[in-house]
């Protein structure tokens, strides 16, 4: 009961059920693994206690059996002494003694052969007596206790007043009574297994004791066989003596027959009288007869011992086989016991591993929560950075749109210049055709009016001027198409990042602007005009904003201020254009000849 109370305390601390006076499980089991392990350990402890009690009983039974065996051995030793006394009979009764010996030996062999069965019967009787004596005082087994608990639990649940509440469910869907029944069935199976193993151990111990007894008997028989081998050597010596005496007897008989056949011849070698020889011969014949009787006795004894040795050998072989079987059964029982121990160790290791895994899982959960918090913080920081980058992207898209608008205006200007170039080419072709017509007309008229040489000079000058104009226009078109004007613009912005003033009144331009804009042509004029309208060409560094510490608010404010300034400049230019209404820009005289890097303007 103390062990069950300890289990109840463990279960109370880890589960949500209580235990009443009869130790019945009432509420749901939430942690079944600990209960299983504790019940299994209790079962093993009780099984060990039962095994100890059984071993003590078996030791007492073995002592009793050994005492009984000793008594039987003493009783069997007394008829053997009687047999040895019967063998020492006088010579005339040799045949009767041999017959009695054979009969007694057969009777001795029979009881000795029957002794193992008697011993097994005695062992069984002693074990039954021990079990009968121990059964009234023994406590009920775990299976009976579990059945009693289950019946008391059912009775308690049925006798309750009112409607019984539904049984709580486990995480697997089983109710508490189902789980309890499963545990009870498992405990009963384990008890049966323990009983079976204990029975096998007792049987193996019995077989082992029997084998030891048989080995001791065989050793005693081996000692007797060694004594028999000594008697065999004595028999051989006696046989050799008998053979020598027989040879002497034959020689004496031959000598006597020779003496009787040749009686007329006096014998020189015969010294003793014939009466002495006859007495000697009679004594020798008597000794020979007695020796023959002894030899016959010894032969019968040897035959009897050989038959006994053969039966003892058969018994030895049978006992060896039994011993081998008993050792195999004992080894099997030992292996099964080791398997049970290994299973128990595995169960304990599994329980320890599950506890360690649970603790490690809790630590992992804590670390994962900490990592999740860190990831949230990093996510917020990345969201802030993403918002800043989105703002940068919006500003860059606006700048890109403005740049596209500027490039479109430049493209339109380039197309306009291409159209003007085509128009000029058509005009040149028309002038050439008119010139040819005039020449043909003058040649037909005979040169009335102007001199042919002067006309040719004018035509050549006009042609050269038109060719220069066409070349400059082609160069500007090529620069616009190839993008060389962008590089020139960057060079100009690097050298003079401030605003560029363009004199459109026709005044003489200084030498410095002439050097700066020499070779620029119409494209430089367009870029200078656009810079004057847009307000400078400092766009470098706008896209090269790779600094991580980018101040978006300052950038937005600067952009808004620049946009407002640009709008104000455009408004001022539009207001100032009202003062020039009704005026015409006449720059034909100032730009005649295409000097100072500005394209030539002429009337057609």
What is the 3-state secondary structure of 548-591? CCCCHHHHHHHHHHHHHHHHHHHHHHHHHHHHHCCCCCCCCCCC
Q: Is residue 418 part of a domain?
A: no
Helix (H) or strand (E) holding 83: helix 32-87
Q: Is residue 514 part of a domain?
A: yes
Q: Where does a domain end: 376, 393, 417?
A: 376
Q: Inform me whether the pLDDT recorded for 374 exceeds 90.
A: yes
CA 72 vs CA 217, 319, 337, 539: distances in Å: 13, 19, 36, 128
Main-chain phi, psi angles of 175, to 5 degrees: -85, 170
Q: Inform me whether the pLDDT recorded for 175 exceeds 70.
A: yes
Q: With cut-offs at 50, 70 and 90, classify the pLDDT of residue 340.
A: confident
**Residue 529 exposed, middle or buried by CB count within 10 Å (0-12, 13-18, 19+):** middle
Q: Is residue 406 part of a domain?
A: no
Write the pLDDT tens digit of every residue in 274-287.
677 778 778 877 88
Q: Inform me whether the pLDDT recorded for 316 exceeds 90.
A: no
Q: Inform me whether the pLDDT recorded for 1 exceeds 60.
A: no
What's the residue count for the chain? 604
**pLDDT score for 452:** 58
Q: Inform me whether the pLDDT recorded for 375 exceeds 90.
A: yes
Across the range 214-220, mean pLDDT stands at 75
Q: Is residue 239 part of a domain?
A: yes
**Residue 327 exposed, middle or buried by CB count within 10 Å (0-12, 13-18, 19+):** middle
**pLDDT score for 184:** 80
Across the range 364-368, mean pLDDT stands at 91
**pLDDT score for 54:** 79
Task: Domain count for the chain, please give it.
Answer: 2
Q: Inform me whether the pLDDT recorded for 123 exceeds 90.
A: no
Helix (H) or strand (E) holding 48: helix 32-87
Residues 321, 198 share a domain: yes
Across the range 132-144, mean pLDDT stands at 49
**pLDDT score for 150:** 56
The residue to which tokens 């050994």 are assigned = 66
Write the pLDDT tens digit of every residue in 582-597.
766 666 666 565 555 5
In terms of Cα–Cα distance, which of 301, 311, 310 is closest to 230? 301
- Higher-confidence position of 396 and 116: 396
Dihedral (Cα; 142, 145, 146, 151), 10-degree rounding: 160
Q: Inform me whether the pLDDT recorded for 419 exceeds 80.
A: yes
**pLDDT score for 383:** 92
Residues 232, 333 share a domain: yes
Q: Inform me whether the pLDDT recorded for 450 exceeds 60.
A: no
Q: Is residue 420 part of a domain?
A: no
Max mean pLDDT among 63-72, 206-215, 248-257, 383-392 falls in 383-392
Handedness of CA 471, 472, 473, 474 (dihedral sign): positive
Which bin fits 475, alpha (ψ -120 to 50), beta or left (φ > 0)?
alpha
**pLDDT score for 271:** 43
Q: What is the pLDDT of the chain when averaged over all its residues?
A: 68
Max mean pLDDT among 132-136, 225-229, 427-431, 496-500 falls in 427-431
DSSP 8-state class, residue 136: T
CB atoms within 10 A of CB 107: 12
Which bin fits 521, alpha (ψ -120 to 50), beta or left (φ > 0)?
left
Quote the CA–CA distance of 430 and 434 in Å, as a whole number: 6
Q: Inform me whether the pLDDT recorded for 158 exceeds 50.
A: no
For residue 175, what are the β-bridge partners?
A: 169
In terms of Cα–Cα distance, which of 527, 542, 568, 546 is closest to 398? 542
Q: Is residue 432 part of a domain?
A: no
Radius of gyration over every alpha carbon of the chain, rounded to an integer in angstroms: 70
Helix (H) or strand (E) holding 104: helix 94-134
Domain range holding 189? 2-157+167-256+276-376
- Higher-confidence position of 442 and 147: 442
Contact 191, 142 (CB under 8 A): yes
Quote the CA–CA distance of 28 and 18 in Å, as a whole number: 9
Residues 121, 212 share a domain: yes
Residues 280, 178 share a domain: yes
Residues 456, 370 share a domain: no
CA 285 vs CA 1, 105, 364, 493: distances in Å: 94, 34, 113, 165
Residues 522, 604 share a domain: yes
Q: Is residue 77 part of a domain?
A: yes
Q: With cut-offs at 50, 70 and 90, classify the pLDDT of residue 118.
A: very low
Residues 367, 456 share a domain: no
Main-chain phi, psi angles of 25, to 5 degrees: -80, 130
**pLDDT score for 39:** 62
Across the range 129-153, mean pLDDT stands at 52
CA 114 vs CA 42, 82, 108, 231, 413: distances in Å: 46, 21, 10, 29, 137
Q: Inform me whether the pLDDT recorded for 77 exceeds 80.
A: no
Q: Where does a domain end: 376, 410, 436?
A: 376
Across the range 186-207, mean pLDDT stands at 82
Q: Inform me whether the pLDDT recorded for 440 exceeds 50.
A: yes
**pLDDT score for 337:** 86
DSSP string, 151-192: HHHHHHHHH-SSPPPPPPBPTTS-BHHHHHHHHHHHHHHHHH
Across the range 445-468, mean pLDDT stands at 69
274-445 vs 521-534: helix axis angle to the nearest 10? 100
- Beta-carbon-side half-sphere exposure of residue 245 (alpha carbons within 13 Å): 18
In terms of Cα–Cα distance, which of 25, 20, 23, 17 is closest to 3? 23
Q: Inform me whether the pLDDT recorded for 152 exceeds 80.
A: no
Across the range 70-94, mean pLDDT stands at 55
**pLDDT score for 104:** 41
**pLDDT score for 312:** 79
Q: With cut-offs at 50, 70 and 90, classify the pLDDT of residue 225.
A: low
**pLDDT score for 473:** 84
- Higher-confidence position of 90 and 234: 234
Residues 335, 215 share a domain: yes
Give the range among 124-138, 208-222, 304-318, 539-553 with minimum mean pLDDT.
124-138
At a CB cut-off of 8 Å and minimum separation 6, what does 215 contact? 319, 323
Q: Is residue 407 part of a domain?
A: no
Dmax over CA atoms of the chain, in Å, equals 224
At 517, list the tokens: 């804009």
Residues 454, 372 share a domain: no
Main-chain phi, psi angles of 334, to 5 degrees: -65, -45
3-state secondary structure of 19: strand
Residues 477, 345 share a domain: no
Residues 469, 357 share a domain: no
Q: Where does a domain end: 376, 401, 427?
A: 376
The residue to which tokens 């869907």 are assigned = 173
Q: With cut-offs at 50, 70 and 90, classify the pLDDT of residue 91.
A: very low
DSSP string, 254-314: HHHHHHHHT-SSPPSS--S-HHHHHHHHHHHHHHHHHHHHHHHHHHHHHHHHHHHHHHHHH
Contact 161, 154 (CB under 8 A): no
In terms of Cα–Cα distance, which of 39, 50, 44 is closest to 198? 50
**pLDDT score for 575:** 82
**pLDDT score for 371:** 92
Quote the CA–CA distance of 238 and 324 in Å, as a whole number: 43
Q: With cut-offs at 50, 70 and 90, classify the pLDDT of residue 373.
A: very high
């Amino acid at each position: 009961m103390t062990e069950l109370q300890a289990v109840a305390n463990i279960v109370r601390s880890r589960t949500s059920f209580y235990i009443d006076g009869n130790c019945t499980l009432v509420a749901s089991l939430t942690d079944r693994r600990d209960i299983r392990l504790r019940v299994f350990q209790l079962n093993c402890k009780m099984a060990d206690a039962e095994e100890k009690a059984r071993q003590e009983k078996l030791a007492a039974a073995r002592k009793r059996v050994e005492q009984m065996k000793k008594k039987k051995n003493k009783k069997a030793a007394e008829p053997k002494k009687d047999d040895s006394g019967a063998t020492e009979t006088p010579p005339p009764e040799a045949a009767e003694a041999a017959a009695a010996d054979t009969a007694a030996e057969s009777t001795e062999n029979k009881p000795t052969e029957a002794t193992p069965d008697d011993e097994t019967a005695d062992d069984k009787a002693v074990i039954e007596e021990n079990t009968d004596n121990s059964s009234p005082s023994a406590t009920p087994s775990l299976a009976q206790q579990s059945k009693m608990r289950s019946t008391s639990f059912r009775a308690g649940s049925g006798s309750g007043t009112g409607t019984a509440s539904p049984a709580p469910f486990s995480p697997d869907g089983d109710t508490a009574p189902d789980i309890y029944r499963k545990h009870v069935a498992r405990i009963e199976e384990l008890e049966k297994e323990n009983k079976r193993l204990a029975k096998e151990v007792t049987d193996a111990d019995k077989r082992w004791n029997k084998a030891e007894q048989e080995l001791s008997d065989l050793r005693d028989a081996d000692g007797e066989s060694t004594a028999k081998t000594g008697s065999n050597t004595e028999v051989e010596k006696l046989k050799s003596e008998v053979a020598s005496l027989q040879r002497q007897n034959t020689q004496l008989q031959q000598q006597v027959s020779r003496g009787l056949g040749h009686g007329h011849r006096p014998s020189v070698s015969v010294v003793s009288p014939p009466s002495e020889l006859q007495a000697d011969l009679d004594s020798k014949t008597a000794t020979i007869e007695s020796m023959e009787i002894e030899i016959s006795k010894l032969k019968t004894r040897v035959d009897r011992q050989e038959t006994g040795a053969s039966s003892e050998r058969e018994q030895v072989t049978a006992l060896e086989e039994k011993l081998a079987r008993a050792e195999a059964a004992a080894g099997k029982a030992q292996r099964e016991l080791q398997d049970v121990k290994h299973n128990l160790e595995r169960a304990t290791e599994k329980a320890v591993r599950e506890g360690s895994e649970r603790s490690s899982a809790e630590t992992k959960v804590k670390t994962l929560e900490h990592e999740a918090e860190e990831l949230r913080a990093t996510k917020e920081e990345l969201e802030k950075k993403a918002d800043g980058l989105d703002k940068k992207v919006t500003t860059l898209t606006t700048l890109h749109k403005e740049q596209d608008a500027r490039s479109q205006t430049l493209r339109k200007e380039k197309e306009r210049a291409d159209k003007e170039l085509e128009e000029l080419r058509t005009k040149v072709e028309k002038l050439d055709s008119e010139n040819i017509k005039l020449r043909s007309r003058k040649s037909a008229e005979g040169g009335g009016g102007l001199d042919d040489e002067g006309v040719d000079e004018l035509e050549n000058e006009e042609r050269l001027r038109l060719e220069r104009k066409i070349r400059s226009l082609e160069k500007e078109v090529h620069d616009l198409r190839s993008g060389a004007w962008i590089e020139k613009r960057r060079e100009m912005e690097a050298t003079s990042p401030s605003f560029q003033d363009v004199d459109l009144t026709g005044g003489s331009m200084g030498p410095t602007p002439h050097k700066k804009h020499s070779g620029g042509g119409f494209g430089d004029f367009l870029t200078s005009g656009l810079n004057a309208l847009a307000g400078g060409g400092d766009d470098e560094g706008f896209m090269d904003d790779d600094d991580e510490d980018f101040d978006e608010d300052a950038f937005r404010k600067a952009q808004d201020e620049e946009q407002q300034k640009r709008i104000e400049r455009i408004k001022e230019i539009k207001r100032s254009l009202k003062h020039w209404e009704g005026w015409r820009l006449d720059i034909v005289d100032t730009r005649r000849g295409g000097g100072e890097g500005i394209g030539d303007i002429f009337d057609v």
